[in-house]
Structure 1
């Protein structure tokens, strides 16, 4: 997707997404046979419900039909949330992952610098982590600044308590 088209789509879609109290995470245009696929990835502090994606999809579709932002070619519109395997790249991603288990790769490139840790707190400089104890040892605390992080991704936990359950 050309930068101009990307900027134009972002300018057109960002207000629609913000109106639903969501963050526009990504816009991607790709080819699928003769058609193009426009993927719009949105997120929020509380996640994104399917009904919200459907409503937003209708709103975006109507807006795109009124403009020539996608040109005359056929396209398929997909509106979704980022999914569990999305990398953590923005400060807000780390804030949303507080309490979650994450896999961090640090810039040193050593295998020992790949950690599976729980995010305890996030500020402007970095993150406070809980490193799980090994072989019956207690967990320890660690601080990592954002500049040290090469990659970060949330790990799936099947037995994790949901925030809503903890509040109840």
Structure 2
């Protein structure tokens, strides 16, 4: 996790939790002159548009005061949705048996993209079964992981 995401989590997790939601994760995507800050919130009973708007208002106020992002940025507040992104080992562990797509920051055994079944977590690695092979993917190497929804 980058230092900027850690800094943003320290500011925003208390805001999200004070409103009665859990902070599922934060994406910080710097794209040239513009930056996207996406905050995923979750709740056992689901997340409404009104909930996202309330968290967005409070988060904006904190971000305006603390000013952790230089330049222009867009703040998005969203539920994780059915294809929920996975940020932490505990989240991978909670979805054992589910199909997932994982993209690594750099190639491992000649590839960066993996799609398979989450078999578990061992230490700081995600165990992903792809066809007949199990991969142990260090969580620090994962650029992006998502659950593949079942319909």
Q: TM-score, normalised by structure 1?
A: 0.55
Deviation per CA, 1:22-65, whole angstroms, max 9, x where unpaired? 11121121134521111111112122111100110011011111
Q: CA RMSD in A?
A: 3.2
Partner of 1:75: 73
Matched position secondary structure for 1:18: helix
Query: Residues 154, 45 of structure 1: CA spacing in aligned structure 2 closer, same or farther, 3 A cutoff?
Result: farther
Matched position secondary structure for 2:13: helix
In structure 1, list runs of 5 or more residues that go unmatched.
115-150, 158-168
CA–CA distance in structure 2, aligned partners of residues 63 and 108 of structure 1: 38
* Superposed displacement of residue 153, structure 1: 3.1
For residues 61-140 of structure 1, what are the structure 2 equivalents within 5 Å? 61-71=60-70, 73-86=71-84, 90=90, 94=94, 102-103=98-99, 104-106=117-119, 107=127, 109=129, 111=131
Partner of 1:24: 23
Deviation per CA, 1:102-144, whole angstroms, max 9, x where unpaired? 4334448462689xxxxxxxxxxxxxxxxxxxxxxxxxxxxxx
CA–CA distance in structure 2, aligned partners of residues 30 and 108 of structure 1: 26
CA contact (8 A) 1:85 1:153 kept: yes
CA contact (8 A) 2:92 2:118 kept: no
Q: If each structure's strand is expressed as a fraction of its own residues, which one has the higher value?
A: 2
Larger Rg over CA atoms: 1
In structure 2, list runs of 5 or more residues that go unmatched.
100-116, 120-126, 135-144
Q: Which has the higher contact order (CA 8 A, sep 6+)?
A: 2
Q: TM-score, normalised by structure 2?
A: 0.60
CA–CA distance in structure 1, aligned partners of residues 25 and 118 of structure 2: 23
Partner of 2:55: 56
Give the length in aligned residue pairs.
114
